[in-house]
Amino acid sequence: MTYDGAVIDLDGTVYRGGDLLAGADIGIEALRRRTAVAFVSNKAIERRADYARKLTDLGVPTEPGEVLNSGAMTADLLAREYPDRAALVVGEAPLVADLEAAGVRVTETPADAGVVVASMDRSFDYETLTAAMNALDGDAAFVATNPDRTCPVADGEIPDAAGMIGAIEGVTGRELDAVAGKPSPTAMTAATNLLEADPGDCLLVGDRLETDIEMGERAGMTTVLVLTGVTDEADLREATVEPDYVLDSLASIETVL
């Protein structure tokens, strides 16, 4: 089969922690011989150039323009939907940098915030939770970079943005107004625009059913689940989302192509 583009997840699909997954470079090379590739990460703890540099250092030469992350997608969403609102950020410095680069004003004062952005924050504490609660005591919007519960790392998994989102929801009773990353339409549109391709003509490769595969399924993409990340065979048997293909790893993508 032929495709006009391939959307490839990063954590758990191409690498875990700082290590390239076995054969991932071979799989990416096979895809690049046939179509355009976009790497799309739900993480906002690094910027696009950082991801491109990491991939290049791991033996997968990549330009920043081939990468999308949830920080950049959130920045675009806020600049478009809430252009005059200051953002209180529950997240890390790269996310703040992405927002500011898009012209979004960032504030640490809850009373000034017109939107609260929740993301993975490895320094999340009671003071941060209190600030988010106070900022949402009014008409501020509540936006998340991504809904992931965990992030795969070299020796297991660590808490991701869902932990911060859940804590804020718990103390405010508020639900999210928008999510920028996978599986949202925002992420799908950003990825297919980068590839200049229709969703139905694209391949999606990822390790997480409820973000990667769900986004692809909603958009009509051909979906490929790899078992090198957070999803295992037991999860697959119980899932309501069904990938078109299941592979042990990205190294086997030739069997789909």
Catalytically active residues are 9, 11
Select from 128, 140, 205 the least CA-distant residue to 165. Answer: 128
Token pair, residue 225, equals 């689940």
Burial of 157 (0-12, 13-18, 19+ CB in 10 A): middle
Question: What does the alpha-carbon distance between residue 76 and residue 84 come to, in Å, rounded to a whole number?
Answer: 13
Give the residue carrying structure tokens 């906002």. 44
Question: What does the alpha-carbon distance between residue 60 and residue 73 come to, in Å, rounded to a whole number?
Answer: 23
Residue 13, phi then psi, degrees to nearest 5: -115, -50
Cβ-contact 50, 94 below 8 angstroms: yes
